[in-house]
Amino acid sequence: MRNKTTIIAACAMFIVTIAVAAYARDTNAERAVQKADATQTAKVELTDNGFEPSSLKLKANVPAKVTFTRRTDAGCAKEVEMKDYKIKRDLPLNESVTIEFTPRKGEFTFACAMGMLKGKLIVE
């Protein structure tokens, strides 16, 4: 009688251990997916002072959404260009324009079409 109880208890413990291990593995897998889906975001405004902020820090190899909004009609900058990524977008006044790209490691420039107003992209 005593032995039977011990065996049943041992079996129960074994099943619980397997269930916990399986649950932990699922949780880790879920976390990995979330990490892969993660997007980094940043906002830049174009004002009378130029690009604000004038430098952005992004993580390499993580998809990024950078939203530019032009808040001034003064000056020449009606668009933003990131030559290194072959990206060029019009910036209608007071309209948010989101640029999606995956940054590579390094330092890059975003600028108006004539390159008078500049901002720096620092990717680490």
Applying CB under 5 A, the residues found at the interface with Cu ion are 76-77, 112, 114, 116
Nearer to Cu ion among residue 20 and residue 114 (C-beta):
114
Nearer to Cu ion among residue 63 and residue 75 (C-beta):
75
Of 37, 44, 38, 39, give the one whose Cα is nearest residue 97.
Answer: 44
| H helix runs in the chain, sequence order | 2-37
**Least distance to Cu ion, CB of residue 112, Å:** 3
**Least distance to Cu ion, CB of residue 22, Å:** 59
**Least distance to Cu ion, CB of residue 119, Å:** 12
Residue 91 to residue 113: CA distance in whole angstroms: 11
Nearer to Cu ion among residue 44 and residue 77 (C-beta):
77
Residue with tokens 């939203």: 67
CA dihedral sign of residues 57, 60, 66, 71: positive
Nearer to Cu ion among residue 112 and residue 123 (C-beta):
112
